[in-house]
Amino acid sequence: MKKTLHDYKDIIKKLPIKNKYTKEELLIDDFLIEKSNNIEIYYAPHNEYFNPKAKIFIVGITPGFQQMSTAIATARKELEFTDDINEIQYRCKVAARFSGSLRKNIINMLDDIKLNEVLHLESVSEIFEEKDYLLHTISLIPYPVFVKKENYTGHTPKLNKSEILMKYVYEHFICEFKKIENYKEILLVPLGKAVEDVLLKLKDDGVIGENQILIGFPHPSGANVNRLKQFEKNKENMKRFIKNKF
């Protein structure tokens, strides 16, 4: 059963109102969902809003600590003024989804492979703003995952080899994906190789269709030193895929 803001609103209300929190404030037992060896999974209201009309899924591995902090800070402020949990869940999603340089890099790369043109947009930035009905941002694991208190990157342990983490992919990601009426027509943009490998496994399992995954899209983090090189290497193939897809 997925944990939601309904389960954690009283705990969040106990936090001071702030724009961002420290790990010491949030990586606490009250928010801990599951632990196995060095892996810890915590609650955040980042992946609760669902957009049933989406045509594009941008897929990450897990919310990082910055997204966790932003989502909880947003929920804390909103709970002062409203009990409308659905509205708060939407605001948490809007505030926390790929903010800052991460979003900028995603937009630049998607514009560069002409996704904006096939969607008849000036820029892909519009799907994060007034045309966000086209977009659903989602994580393979809906909650923040940490290894030794650091953001999990999909590699140690390898995501598709980890029983505890793949459980969340099967129990949450696939269920959400299948909520879309024409889910085998959605464009899936995996952020990096770890996500791509899991989506390809789901394609082999028959969950995802043959022509849904944008192969070769690098992780947009500035910490990915090979991002531009990877992008240039795969750019023409991705442009062809986008053109054929739409």
CATH of domain 5-245: 3.40.470
Cβ-based neighbours of 8, under 8 Å, separated by 6 or more: 31, 43, 45
- What is the rounded distance in angstroms from the CA atom of residue 242 to the CA atom of residue 215? 10
> pLDDT band for position 112 (50/70/90)?
very high
- What is the rounded distance in angstroms from the CA atom of residue 62 to the CA atom of residue 241? 26
Query: Does residue 108 carry a pLDDT above 90?
Result: yes
Each residue's pLDDT tens digit, 40-54: 999 999 999 999 889
- What is the rounded distance in angstroms from the CA atom of residue 136 to the CA atom of residue 123? 17
Q: In the chain, what percentage of residues exceed pLDDT 90?
A: 83
- Amino acid making up residue 195: V
User: Locate tokens 């190789």: which residue?
Assistant: 193
- Rounded to whole angstroms, what are the CA distances from 77 to 49, 80, 103? 17, 6, 23
Q: Which of 58, 113, 109 is nearest to 239 (CA)?
A: 113
> pLDDT band for position 98 (50/70/90)?
confident
pLDDT of residue 182: 87
* Cβ contact 89:48 at 8 Å: yes
pLDDT of residue 193: 92
Query: Sign of torsion, CA 134 95 180 237?
Result: positive
Each residue's pLDDT tens digit, 175-212: 999 988 888 899 999 999 999 999 999 999 999 988 99
> pLDDT band for position 216 (50/70/90)?
very high
What H or E segment, with its residue span, contains residue 147?
Answer: strand 145-147
pLDDT of residue 167: 94
